[in-house]
Structure 1
Amino acid sequence: MKRIKKSWPINDQANLLNRLGDMTENGYNLLDGLRLMELQMNKRQRTEMSAAVNRLREGEPFYQVLQALAFHKEAVSICYLAEMHGELSVAMRQSGGLLERKLTQVNQLKKVIRYPIFLIFTVFVMFYILQAVIIPQFSGVYQSMNMETSRTTAVIFAFFQHVHYAVIGFVLLALGAALYYWFGFKKKSPADKMLFFVRIPILGRLVILFNSYFFSLQLSSLLKSGLSIYDSLKAFKEQSFLPFYRQEAEQIINKLRAGESIDRALYKHPCYENDFCEVVLHGQLSGQLHRELFTYSQFLMDRLERKVEKWTGILQPVIYGIVAGMILIVYLSMLLPMYQMMNQL
C-alpha cells in the first residue's frame, strides 16, 4: 500500500483507534469494524480507508496499514507490538488514548500562547513604526533645534537606530540552527538525538518521563503475553518506527548477553527516570514484572500530565510579562522625548 502524503488529523487518528478498539473487543473483526467506520469518514479518508480494507483482506498486517495511512509513529509501533502479544484491541485503545493526551496538551499550549503571540506581533509592528517613522522625526527635531538630549532619550534613540542589528542577528541564528539541523543533527544516532533533547531545560524532564512511560507500558504488554524479557526486547529491536527504542533494545540485549541484568542495564540511564531500574528489580523479585511495569507506567503518565499543566501555567504569565515590558519600552520611547522637548522650549 502506497504511503499517503498527507496524514490524518491527530483527533481523527485517535477517534479511529479508540472506536476500532472498542468494536473489536465487542466481537467485531478488523474488516467489519473498518467498513463501519468508513461510513463516518469524509471523501478523502473514505478512499484511503477503502484501500486499507483491501490490503487487510489480502493479509497485510494492521500496523502496516496504519503506517501507510501516515498515522503517528508511536501509535503504529504500539499496534506492531500488540500483533505479537495478541491484545490488539487493548493496544488500539492505548494508542488512541496516547494521541488524545498529546492533542489535549497541544491544544492547552495553543490556548495559552495564542493571545500573547497576537500581542507580541502587534508590539513588533509598533516597534517598526517607531524605528522607521517616529524616532527619526524626533531625532531630526532635536538636531534642527540644537536641543540636547538626556541620557535616557539618547539611549532610546540609540536602541531604535541599532535594533535592525538584533533582527539580523536573530535571522542569522535561525539560519545557523537550520544548517546545523540539516547537516549535523540529522546525521546523529537516535541515542545522541535523544540525549540532545534530554539536556534541554524543562523539555528534557518531560522527555525523560515520556520515555520511561512508553517503554515500561509496552514492555509490560509484551511480558504479560508470555514473552521473556529477551524476546520482548527483541520485538522492540525489530520494529522500525521508533529508532531510539530499537537502538536501546539492541544495547540492552548486548548487556544481557554479557551477563548483566536488565535493571543494571537501566541503572542511571540518562534517558529514563532514576527509579525505573528499581521498579524492574522489584518486579523481578516479586515475579510480577509485567504488573509492576504497568502500574509504574500509569504513575508516570500522571506525573507527566501534572508537569505539563505546571509549566503551561507558568508559561502564560512569563509571556505576558515580556509583552508588558515591550509595551513599556514603546510608551517610554514616545513620551520621554516629548517631555524633554517640552521642558527645553
Structure 2
Amino acid sequence: MNNWQRAVLIMQRPINLKKRKRLPIAIQATLFETLADLLGNGFSFQQAFQFAVDVEGPAFQSLQPVLVRLAAGDELSTALRPYIAVDLYYQFLIAETHGELRHTLTQAGQLMRARAEQARQIRRLLQYPCLLLVLLLGTLGLVKSAILPSLDAGSSVSGTIPPWQWIGGVSIVILGISLLGLGLKVKHLPIRRRYHWLARLPLVGPLIKNYCGYYLSLNAGMLLTGGLGIRGICEVSQQFQPKALIYQQGQVVERALLSGASLMTIIQNDRLLPDELALLVGKESPTEQLSQELLYFATLQYERLIRQLNRLISWIQPVMFGVIALVVVGTYMSLLLPMYQSMGEILK
C-alpha cells in the first residue's frame, strides 16, 4: 500500500465532532513551532511530542492521548485530529504524504502565533477606548438619573422622551437583531459559501481571499509535488470530509472542468482565488515547476495576509474614537439640550 492509498483510507474515517477538544490558538502556535524545531534537530514525532508535553507544563497535559496514538503507530495528523481545525488536519495529512510536514508545521505555527499576537494587540488597543466609553456612559446615566429629574421638578417642561430618541433607539435595536440573525445565518453556511459571502465585504473580503489563496495554493502545490494532475487533485479532494474547504473547492473545480471550462477561466471567475493564480496556471509550466511556484506563491499570500491583518488592526482605535465622538454628540443632544430648556423655564 503506497502513501496515497494509506492517506485515502485515513481521509475516509469520519470526524466525531462530539469528541473535539480544539486547542487554544496560542497553545497550537507553541506546539507547532516546537515540533517543527525538534523535527529539524532529528527528533522523531513521538520524541518531539513527548518533549513538548513534558517541557511546556500543565497546558499541554490534555495532549497525553496524542502520545498514546503516536506510540500505537498513528501519524501526527491523525493523532492531532480531535484538537485542530478540519482544514488544518487535512493540510498536515497532505504534508505528511509528501514529506513537507516540518515546513507546514513551521508555517502553521507562525500563522497561529500571528493570530494569537493580533488578538492580544486588539484587546490592548480596545482597553483605552472601552474605558472612555464606559466612563462616558456612566456619566450619561448619572446625569439622566440624578440631575435631570431635579431640573424637571422645577420646570414645566414635559419629561417625555423626544421622538428622535425613540426612533434612534428602535433603529439600533432592529439593526442589532438583524446583524445577529445575519451572523447566525452565515455561520451555518457551508464553509465555501460562507467565504464567498464574506469575500464581498469591503474590509473582510481581501483577508478571506488571501487566506483561501494561501491555503489552496499550498495544498495544490504539495499534491502536484506528489505527481498528481489537476484531475487527480480533484479526485483526491473528494475523499476528504464534505465540510472541508478543499473538498468543496475540488468539487466545484471538477464540475467546471467536466462542463468544458478551462482551469484558468475557473480561477478567474472564482471570487476566492487570487488573479495571480490564474497567471501561474496559464503559463502551462511543467508540473514540477508549477508545484514549486504554487508553494512559493502560498508563502507570498501568507505574508500578504499578515500585513493586511496588521493594517486592519491599526484602524481599531480610530474607529473606536469615532464611536466615542458619536456618543458624545448623542449625549449632548439627549442631556444638555433638555437641561438648557429646563434652566430657561426656571429663569422665566
- Tell me the secondary structure at the aligned position of residue 275 of structure 1: helix
Q: Distance in 1 between matches of 2:188 and 2:53?
A: 40
Q: How big is the shift at 1:246?
A: 1.2
Cα deviation, residue 168, structure 1? 5.4
Name the counterpart of 1:278: 279
Secondary structure in structure 1 of the residue aligned to 2:221? helix
Determine the C-alpha separation between the residues in 2 that align with 1:105 and 1:162: 39
Structure 1 residue 114: Cα displacement? 2.5
Highest RCO, 1 vs 2 (Cα 8 Å, sep ≥ 6) = 2
Q: Structure 1, unaligned stretches of length 5 or more?
A: none
Q: Does 1:77 align with 2:90?
A: yes
Q: What RMSD in Å do the two structures reach over aligned CA positions?
A: 3.2
Give 1:56's aligned residue. Answer: 70
Say if 2:22 is the partner of 1:7.
yes
- In structure 1, the residue matched to 2:42 is 27
Cα–Cα, structure 1 residues 187 and 19, in superposed 2: closer, same or farther, change >3 Å?
A: closer
Secondary structure, in 3 states, of the residue corresponding to 1:320?
A: helix
* Counterpart Cα distance in 1 of 2:230 and 2:333: 66
Residue 208 (str. 1) matches residue 209 (str. 2): yes
1:195–1:271: 8 Å Cα contact kept in structure 2? yes
Aligned to 1:230: 231
Using the size of structure 2 for normalisation, the TM-score is 0.81
- Structure 1 window deviating more from structure 2 (292-301 vs 206-215): it is 292-301
Q: Counterpart in 1 of 2:120?
A: 107
Instruction: Summarize the Cα distance change of 1:98–1:173 in structure 2 as closer, same or farther, 3 Å threshold.
Output: same
Pair 1:142 & 2:155 matched? yes
Instruction: Report the Cα distance in structure 2 between the residues aligned to 1:253 and 1:286, rounded to whole angstroms.
Output: 19
**Which moves more between the two structures, 121-130 or 8-17?**
121-130
Structure 1 residue 287, shift from structure 2 partner: 6.1
Q: Aligned residue for 1:220?
A: 221
Tell me how far apart the structure 1 counterparts of residues 46 and 312 of structure 2 sit (CA, whole Å): 43
- Distance between the aligned counterparts of 1:335 and 1:30, measured in 2? 67
AA of the residue aligned to 1:25: G
Contact 1:86 1:225 (8 Å CA) reproduced: no
- Rounded to whole Å, the distance in 2 between the matches of 1:63 and 1:198 is 29
Match of 2:7 in 1: none
Please say if 1:307 is aligned against 2:308.
Answer: yes
Give the whole-Å Cα distance in 2 for the aligned partners of 1:24 and 1:284.
33
Tell me which residue corresponds to 1:250. 251
Output one character per residue of 1:218-239: Cα deviation in whole Å (capped at 9) or x when no partner: 2122222333333333343333
Identity, in percent, stands at 21
Structure 2 contact 129–320 (Cα < 8 Å) conserved: yes
Q: Deviations over 1:189-236 (max 9, x none)?
A: 433222221122211121112111221122122222333333333343
Q: Secondary structure of the residue that 1:207 maps to in structure 2?
A: helix
CA offset digits 1:219-269 (Å, max 9, x no partner):
122222333333333343333385333111112123334444322221221
In structure 2, what is the equivalent of residue 40 of structure 1? 55
Q: Distance in 1 between matches of 2:30 and 2:111?
A: 11
